[in-house]
Amino acid sequence: MKNLFLIILAFVSIGCANNVNNNDSNKTKELIQLNEGANDTVVKVLTDQKIIISLQGNPTTGFAWSVQDINSDVIRLISKKFISGSDNFWRVGVGGKYIFEFIAEKQGKTNLEFIYKRPWVGGETAQTFTVTINVAD
């Protein structure tokens, strides 16, 4: 039992020691995560910082989130995916989250607007999500 305690103590000490010498040049930029609660807000980020936007949706109804407005010189879409709230993706009535990943490319400002609609039906938008992104160096 005493040996187990010493082994655990050694691992904890090594883990703590790895974090002692972090200076600003070694720190990674914090990931910005936004959801519906950030609608109509302004978010400040740094260049090369990643932004994840998670929006609730239900593709079994035919609706999907898509990017409507973006200045791709300021921020760039890296990936888009849907994560089902169920093990069975096409189970009728089961929603989930649309996940959009962006990276801040250069200093500037952009409105980032999403629309939630049936892509094949013109005109009718069920929901919108907008956030203003200010990118600084």
pLDDT in tens, 59-102: 888 889 999 999 999 999 999 999 988 776 566 677 899 999 99
% of residues, the chain, pLDDT over 70: 74
Strand segments (E) across the chain: 32-34, 41-46, 50-57, 64-69, 75-84, 96-104, 108-117, 127-136
Angle of CA points 58, 63, 69, to nearest 5°: 115
User: Between β-strands 75-84 and 96-104, what pairing exists: parallel, antiparallel or unpaired?
Assistant: antiparallel
For residue 67, give the nearest of 115, 9, 135, 132 by alpha carbon: 115
**Topology, domain 29-136:** Immunoglobulin-like (2.60.40)
The pLDDT score that the predictor gives to residue 9 is: 37
Task: Give the integer Cα–Cα distance in Å for 134 and 109.
Answer: 4
Contacts of 40 (CB under 8 A, 6+ apart): 130, 131
Task: Give the integer Cα–Cα distance in Å for 92 and 32.
Answer: 32
| Residue 7 pLDDT > 80 | no
Tokens coding 9: 């103590």
pTM of the prediction? 0.74
Tokens coding 72: 């791709």
The pLDDT score that the predictor gives to residue 28 is: 55
